[in-house]
Amino acid sequence: MRDLQRWSRLVSLLGGVTLAVGSFDPMAGSVMILPGSALLALGSYLERRDRRIVAYRTWSFILVALGVGSLFLFGAIGGVGGTSGRSAWWALSILPYLVGWSIDLWGPGVARWMSIAGVVIGTWYLAILEMLLRHTANAVQHRIIPAIAIAVIGIATITACAIRLRLGDYEVVRHEP
């Protein structure tokens, strides 16, 4: 049983680190965020502490997988909006990815360091918006809407992580003799 707990913690740690590192570039980092979310779900399954947390992590992974699948699909067929011939509204199908990623950082059973990382990453997303707004005069206006969406996700993530940190209901890891 102790080996299973060690594996669970190792898998969860690897998943959390992969998720956090991939988050610094939300679109290109999706290739790291998807396996990171999967590892978090696997780690909670191996731990078998609380079925609700396992279900939560599994659904979070499903959201990430659906959104990343949409992201890859639209990348393969030439995107949405503009001259692609597809409405920009199709980009909303990527939203489950951003929601699943965000709740992986602050949901139940998450380590405290991941919520702290969520605050840092959310702040980075606000900085992305600021950098794009600074260069708006250079014909990048078509990128403002996605940047605003990323900033909104950043604000939501910062808020949720701050609430989670304020509540302080993280489990204390106790080492058994």
Q: Choose between 144 and 55: higher pLDDT.
A: 55
User: Which pLDDT tens digit goes with each residue over 52-100?
Assistant: 888 989 999 999 999 999 989 888 887 777 777 777 677 788 889 988 9
Stretch 1-14: mean pLDDT: 83
| 177, part of any domain | no
Return phi, psi of residue 48, to 5°.
Answer: 50, 40
42's CB contacts (< 8 A; 6+ apart) are: 11, 15
Closest CA to 38 of 57, 66, 10, 17: 57
pLDDT at 87: 73
| 176, part of any domain | no
Query: Does the structure show a pLDDT above 50 at 174?
Result: no
Query: Does the structure show a pLDDT above 80 at 114?
Result: yes
User: pLDDT band at 1, cuts 50/70/90?
Assistant: low
User: pLDDT band at 173, cuts 50/70/90?
Assistant: very low
| 47, part of any domain | yes
- Total tally of structural domains belonging to the chain: 1
Amino acid identity for residue 22 in this structure: G
User: Which pLDDT tens digit goes with each residue over 12-51?
Assistant: 899 999 999 998 887 888 999 999 999 999 998 888 777 8
DSSP assignment letter at 173: P
DSSP assignment letter at 174: -
| 174, part of any domain | no
| 149, part of any domain | yes
pLDDT at 61: 95
Distance CA 156, CA 114 (A): 15
| 136, part of any domain | yes
What kind and span of H or E run contains 156? Answer: helix 144-167
Distance CA 95, CA 64 (A): 9
pLDDT at 175: 43
What kind and span of H or E run contains 50? Answer: none
DSSP assignment letter at 73: H
Q: Which domain holds residue 17?
A: 2-167
pLDDT at 166: 87
